[in-house]
């Protein structure tokens, strides 16, 4: 049985981490299934947005530990490069927007997966826990980058060095996530956001995602030049013509991704 349930609802691909008895711990099999599910969603021309969540009471509890994990020794880095790194990179590089619905606690590398989405909406009962230090481990899953760039070095360092949980409400107040909502309406809110994004201009959103990622490491001159090049490309698309016409005609645009 797949450890990631995939279904398509209209133009939204819904991916559900499916290891609820272990709070969706990241077994290598789950990461392999998630890699395949992400590839399939990105390749599906009918899919315009992706919604990722977890089954049961947790979003993702991080690495699934067992004797074989500790015996891996020097091989752990290569195993992470094979299984975890592609998931984070695919989520960040996906041309299709990803909405993460954080339905419960997220810990360790699960925090990295949670924050790799474009829009993160968390249930009020959710928590974000950099549990690495409690285990004597180090940060992974992109958490060393995502946290300090979102909430600042001071807050990120304390969370990482103490392993103290961060509530969903505080995460929203600090700007780590988009929104904290009551548990009962999480999927309704996340689905509505995914549908809204799915109705948007796909070429524009793909370019905007890439612009944000590129600007993280670029200077102002490089960023302005990229924006000029990207805008020129956008003005050559049918979508921009449609968007401009819809604006003038005071109607909702119908973007085709061309």
Q: Is the pLDDT of residue 65 over 80?
A: no
- For residue 72, what pLDDT band results from cuts at 50, 70 and 90? low
First to last CA, the chain: 37
- For residue 63, what pLDDT band results from cuts at 50, 70 and 90? confident
Report residue 141 as tokens: 């899953």
Whether residue 116 contacts residue 90, with contact meaning beta carbons closer than 8 Å, is answered with: no
Query: Tokens 């509505």 map to which residue?
Result: 192
Q: What is the pTM of this model?
A: 0.91
* Segments of 154-251 assigned E as strands: 166-167, 179-181
Q: What is the pLDDT of residues 107-163, one digit of tens each?
A: 999 999 999 999 999 999 999 999 999 989 999 999 999 999 999 999 999 999 999
Q: State how far the Cα of 87 lies from the Cα of 10, in Å rounded to an integer.
A: 24
DSSP 67-126: HHHHTTGGGHHHHHHHHHHHHHHHHHH-SS-EEEEE-S-EETHHHHHHHTSSEEEEETT-
Q: What is the pLDDT of residues 31-55, one digit of tens each?
A: 999 999 999 999 999 999 999 999 9
**pLDDT number for residue 161:** 97
pLDDT over 90, % of the chain: 77
Report residue 241 as tokens: 């013509």
Among residues 51, 55, 38, which one has the least CA distance to residue 12? 51
Average pLDDT, rounded, for the chain:
92
């Amino acid at each position: 049985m797949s450890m990631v349930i995939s279904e398509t609802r209209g133009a939204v691909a819904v991916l559900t981490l499916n290891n609820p008895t272990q709070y969706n711990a990241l077994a290598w099999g789950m990461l392999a299934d998630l890699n395949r599910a992400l590839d399939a969603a990105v390749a599906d021309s009918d899919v315009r947005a992706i919604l990722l969540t977890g089954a049961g009471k947790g979003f993702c509890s991080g690495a699934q530990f067992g004797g074989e994990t500790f015996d891996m020794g020097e091989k752990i880095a290569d195993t992470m490069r094979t299984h975890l790194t592609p998931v984070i990179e695919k989520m960040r590089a996906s041309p299709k927007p990803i909405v993460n619905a954080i339905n419960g606690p997220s810990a360790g590398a699960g925090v990295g997966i949670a924050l790799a989405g474009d829009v993160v909406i968390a249930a009020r009962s959710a928590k974000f826990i950099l549990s690495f230090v409690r285990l004597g481990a180090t940060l992974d899953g992109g958490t060393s980058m995502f946290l300090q760039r979102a909430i600042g070095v001071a807050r990120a360092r304390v969370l990482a060095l103490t392993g103290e949980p961060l509530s969903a409400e505080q995460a929203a107040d600090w700007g780590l996530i988009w929104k904290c909502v009551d548990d009962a309406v999480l999927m309704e809110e996340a689905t509505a956001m995914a549908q809204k994004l799915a109705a948007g201009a796909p070429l524009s959103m793909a370019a905007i995602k890439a612009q944000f990622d590129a600007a993280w490491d670029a200077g102002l001159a490089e960023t302005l030049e990229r924006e000029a090049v990207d805008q020129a490309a956008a003005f050559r698309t049918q979508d921009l013509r449609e968007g401009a016409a819809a604006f003038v005609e005071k109607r909702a645009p119908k973007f085709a991704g061309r």
